[in-house]
Amino acid sequence: MLKKSSLSLIINGFQKSKIQSEAEVRSKFVVPLIEWLGFPSEYRAEEFPVYGYNGSKPLSSKHADFLMFNSDDFATHRQHTEIDCNWVQEHSLLVVEVKKPGNIIKPLEQAQFYSAWTKSVAYIETDGIRLIGRFYNDVSKDYEVLDLDISDIQTADKILNFSFDNLSNIKSNFNDFPEEMILPEEDFANLKIPKYVYSGFSDALGKNAEHLDDMQTVATFLNATNHLLQSQLRYNIPEYMFDIPRGFYRAKIYSDEMMLPSVVGNVTYYNWNVLDKYEFQSDYFICNIITVENQVAYIAYGFSVQDITVDNRIEGFNTIKKCISARNIRLSIEDSKSTLITIPIYQVPDKNKVEESYNYWLEEMNKLKEIENYYGIKFKLFSISKDETAKTFFCVDTVYNGICQQQNYIFNSPGNLSDEDIEIEEPTVFEKDKDLNIENQEIYGIVFQAYKSTFLPCTLEYSRYKEEDIVPVPCSIEFKLLLDN
């Protein structure tokens, strides 16, 4: 682990000196910084020859101040041969170009030249006053990660992008990446990609999409995106990268101070600039979190229960309750950092809406359970559409109310049935064991047929109605299983 305290000692010690030459910047600042970034001294090459071309004409060799590798074999690969150049490109990590104080000038053509021909992952240029760090990109402009006074380096986490471990990992990912597969042009045309997709790719590429046809635009976009993913960059990159997953991890949710996890699931991780996004998904509980510089800035959560039996769904809702009723939940992620995020559920603006939805669906599941018990059946809760769901649970409410002798129907009585008001003091069976001419109710493939109607307690105020009026009478309709289905 790189300690900021030791970096502060390097910076403070260097700034106490009256630096006047490039050599002093090298020895008193650059070498200690490189070592702090974790590069073994045996991987550090100084004044290493770099060979380039102007068209087909070879240029005279130039010498990089520092070229950091992931191997100590660089001494045997200093010649201008294909074998040596290939070795350099496969093992180079970081170019560091040093200038005399006050002599750093953009654009950083010299450091960029060295990175281009050595295929180093990144390059740094510094004059002991200012430090600029970039990641090299061979399909678009380079990505500037740092441009600051060296006194600010000790508080800038971005310097860790240039660590030996990070650059080694990026290089390894590139070297292990399979060769590109070229899609024949006729096959590309058959993909029938919508125009708005090309437009989105073009907008993301900006000027780099100028004069490109559709196939070139897609290829350039995919190559650039792949480069960003393989480089593991997060700063100074296109915003669309925030929608591309950077990692998938196992994770657990703990409610309040509970020692055992309430739910276990998976996290999909995204990042862009100072933002980190975590999408947690389990069998029952869902939670999305966005942090800004490691501080929780956005929370959204909900639930999804897809079990095929009523008992299992009710059990799932009991699990969900542990999460949504908590004041805080802790998201523990099994990534390399063992990330732990405390999520203040009680602060979520939509908390009441989630709880209302939870209470509704738990109530509906309990109704289904009562129906199962009453009729001695078991439902198989297969997947249905949104419209079918609304219709199905209307049927659930209708059948359940019939069991409980609650109102689920209105009987229309003619207004001339009586001249006086009629008081119904207790539930009174009106019709039974006959065709009631009421629509069957279907719940997950099981059909229920109306067979008994009961008038519910009420006062029928016939005195208020005319003869041609209809007087509504609250009824409870009970259903029976339609066994021939």
**Residue type at 263 in one-letter notation:** V
Side-chain-facing half-sphere of 187: CA atoms under 13 Å: 4
Please return the burial class of 259, using the count of CB atoms within 10 Å of its CB with bins 0-12, 13-18 and 19+: exposed
Cβ(380)–Cβ(435) below 8 Å = no
Query: Which pair of structure tokens corresponds to residue 273?
Result: 């600039």
Considering the domain boundaries, does residue 25 fall inside one? Answer: yes
Q: Is residue 379 part of a domain?
A: no
Pick the more confident residue, 206 or 263.
Answer: 263
The residue type found at 132 is I
Look at residue 365 and tell me if it is in a domain.
no
Q: What percent of the chain clears pLDDT 70, i.e. is strictly above it?
A: 94
Do 18 and 165 fall within a single domain?
yes
Domain boundary among 243, 259, 277: 243
Identity of the residue numbered 45: A
Q: Which of 233, 174, 225 is nearest to 200 (CA)?
A: 225
In a domain, 230, yes or no: yes
**Residue 73 class from Cβ within 10 Å (0-12 exposed, 13-18 middle, 19+ buried)?**
exposed
What are 401's two structure tokens?
A: 């109310």
H-helix segments, 194-251: 195-205, 214-231
Task: Output the average pLDDT for the chain.
Answer: 89
Do both 254 and 235 map to the same domain? no
Q: Into how many domains does the chain fold?
A: 4
Residues 161 and 44 in one domain: yes
Residue 315 lies in a domain: yes
What's the confidence (pLDDT) of residue 189? Answer: 64
Distance, CA of 374 to CA of 86 (rounded, Å):
77
Q: Is the pLDDT of residue 140 over 70?
A: no
Q: Are 269 and 289 within 8 A, CB to CB?
A: no
181 has pLDDT over 50: no
Q: Return the amino acid letter for 156.
A: A
| Percent helix, strand and coil across the chain, each to the nearest 5 | 40, 30, 35
Q: Which comes out higher in pLDDT, residue 403 or 6?
A: 403
Q: At what angle do helices 195-205 and 214-231 cross, to 10 degrees?
A: 50
Mean pLDDT for 166-193 is 64
State how far the Cα of 212 lies from the Cα of 200, in Å rounded to an integer.
14
456/462 Cα distance (integer angstroms):
16
Residues 434 and 308 placed together within one structural domain of the fold: no
User: Which of residues 122, 146, 175 is at a domain's end?
Assistant: 175
- Give the type of residue at 310: V
374 belongs to a structural domain: no
**Does residue 81 carry a pLDDT above 60?**
yes
Which helix (H) or strand (E) covers residue 366, if one does? Answer: helix 351-375
- The domain boundary residue, chosen from 208, 243, 278: 243
Query: Which residue range forms the structural domain that includes residue 414?
Result: 384-481
pLDDT for 293 equals 87
Q: Give CA–CA dist 87/471, Å, rounded.
A: 94
The predicted model gives 417-432 an average pLDDT of 90
- CB–CB of 37/162 below 8 Å? yes
Residues 12, 128, single domain; the answer is yes
Over the stretch 231-263, which tens digit does the pLDDT of each residue have?
777 877 788 889 999 999 999 999 988 888 999
- Which parts of 41-151 are beta strand (E)? 44-50, 53-54, 57-58, 62-69, 92-98, 122-126, 130-135, 143-149
User: Using CA atoms, how far apart are residues 448 and 84, in angstroms rounded to an integer?
Assistant: 81
- Report whether pLDDT(334) > 60: yes
Same domain, 405 and 266: no
CATH label of the domain that carries residue 69: 3.90.1570.30
Separation between Cα atoms, residue 471 and residue 413, nearest integer Å: 5
**H or E stretch at 460:** strand 458-460
Give the separation between CA 120 and CA 39, rounded to whole angstroms.
Answer: 14
Dist. CA 48–CA 53, nearest whole Å: 17
Q: How far is CA 70 from CA 44, 85, 137, 170, 335, in A?
A: 9, 15, 19, 11, 25
Which helix H or strand E contains 89, and what residues bound it? helix 82-91
Identify whether 373 is part of a domain.
no
Of the listed ranges 162-166, 404-408, 446-450, the least confidently predicted one is 162-166
Cα–Cα nearest to 120, from 46, 67, 192 = 67
Number of neighbouring beta carbons within 10 Å of residue 448: 22
Indicate if the pLDDT at residue 450 is higher than 90.
yes
Q: Which two tokens stand for residue 193?
A: 């990609």
Q: Are 452 and 426 found together in one domain?
A: yes
Report CA-CA distances (Å) from 368 to 320, 358, 438, 443.
19, 15, 21, 9
CB 271 within 8 A of CB 283: no
What's the pLDDT at 406? 96
CA pair distance 305, 301, nearest whole angstrom? 14
Residue 364 confidence (pLDDT): 97
Structure confidence by residue, pLDDT tens digits, 22-77: 999 999 999 999 999 999 999 999 999 999 887 668 888 999 999 999 999 999 99
Cα–Cα distance, 145 to 157 (Å, whole number): 10
Q: Are residues 214 and 286 in the same domain?
A: no
- Pair 476, 409: CB distance under 8 Å: yes
- Residues 452 and 432 sit within 8 Å (Cβ to Cβ): yes
435 located within any domain: yes
Do 72 and 193 fall into the same domain?
Answer: no
